[in-house]
Amino acid sequence: MQLILLGAPGAGKGTQAEFICKQFGIPKISTGDMLRVEIAARTPIGQKVQGIMAEGKLVPEEIVNSLLMARLKLPDCKKGFLLDGYPRTISQAELLETNGILIDAIIEIYISDEDIIKRLSGRRIHPQSGRTYHIIYQPPKNPEIDDITQEPLIQREDDKEETVRMRLQVYHQQTEPLIAWYQKRSPNKYIQVEGEGAVNSICDQIMQKLGSVMEKRDGDRHINQG
């Protein structure tokens, strides 16, 4: 099972990706996570992209492409994978095809810009553990303080409202054409679900629609083989 998960920053892709990967026993491959590891390790790549990401801009494609292609060659990808945050552009989608990477389904989680801004700008992180809070939806017991350690929480640079708005602007400019490209090129593989609502409800929608795509794919294969 080789899947792509699309959606604007803050659409809830990470939560749904974990659920999907658990269901199918495949790894989640997030280019954003890979880049943050590079930044934390202060590698040459990390130092190069840190400022770019903090401003909400897209990291140069050659860097992201190189990291991704190296990741897909690892043994845990043999049974499949879910791409979260890649591709972002049509040229990246074409690169997958050029390298013979066939995608079974493309899943888009849609949510309005204003709801995304509310979600992300209210997020707070405990940097040492990675625990996440939200000042509205999941507040800590004491404002801006981690429940466990009593240490200060932080707001990531890319969660600040002005940065979120920049990220959304980049998303609309760069990635929305990719959505239209996939909808035209692979309409039978394209799935769109609303990102507002209970997490379990969104999961159920994805799995139901994904099941329909897989059934059609298997049916087409049976006809072709017959």
CATH of residue 178: 3.40.50.300
39, 53, 150, 156 from 63: Cα distances, Å? 13, 13, 38, 22
* DSSP-assigned beta bridge partners for residue 145: 142, 152
Q: What is the pLDDT of residue 170?
A: 85
Instruction: Please state the domain count of the chain.
Output: 1
Residue 49 lies in a domain: no
Residue of 156, 160, 209, 217 marked active site = 156
CA dihedral for 107, 111, 113, 118, sign (positive or negative): negative
Instruction: Give a yes or no: residue 38 inside a domain.
Output: no
pLDDT given at position 82? 97
* Annotated catalytic residue 13: yes
Q: Is position 56 within any domain?
A: no
User: What pLDDT does residue 197 have?
Assistant: 84
Cross-strand bridge partners of residue 107 = 5, 191
Question: From the candidates 28, 71, 119, 123, which is the catalytic residue?
Answer: 123
Active site residue 131: no
Please indicate, yes or no, if residue 70 is contained in any of the structural domains.
no
Q: What is the distance between the alpha carbons of residues 94 and 30, in angstroms, rounded to a whole number?
A: 18
**pLDDT at residue 186 tops 60:** yes
Catalytic hit among 28, 88, 119, 124: 88
Question: Could you give the CA distance from residue 110 to residue 8 in angstroms, rounded to a whole number?
Answer: 7
* Percent of the chain topping pLDDT 90: 62
pLDDT number for residue 108: 95
Q: How many residues belong to the chain?
A: 226
Residue 25 domain-assigned? yes
Q: Is 68 within the bounds of a domain?
A: no
pLDDT digits (tens, 9 = 90+) for 68-113: 999 999 999 999 999 998 998 899 999 999 999 999 999 999 999 9
Res. 117: pLDDT tops 60: yes
User: pTM value?
Assistant: 0.79
Mean pLDDT of 187-212: 91
Q: What is the pLDDT of residues 139-170, one digit of tens each?
A: 999 999 999 999 999 998 889 999 999 889 98
Residue 214 counted as domain residue? yes
- Range 121-147 average pLDDT: 93
Q: Give residue 219's pLDDT band: very low, low, confident or very high (50, 70, 90).
A: low
Q: Average pLDDT, stretch 26-45?
A: 89
Residue 73 covered by a domain:
no
**pLDDT for residue 220 is more than 70:** no
Residue 222 has pLDDT above 80, yes or no: no
% of the chain exceeding 70 in pLDDT: 96
**Contact (CB, 8 A) for 55 and 167:** no
Domain span holding position 196: 2-30+79-225
Continuous H helices in the chain:
13-24, 31-40, 44-54, 61-72, 90-98, 113-121, 161-174, 176-185, 199-225
Phi/psi of residue 14, each to 5°?
A: -60, -45
- The more confidently predicted of residues 226 and 137 is 137
Q: Is 165 a catalytic residue?
A: no
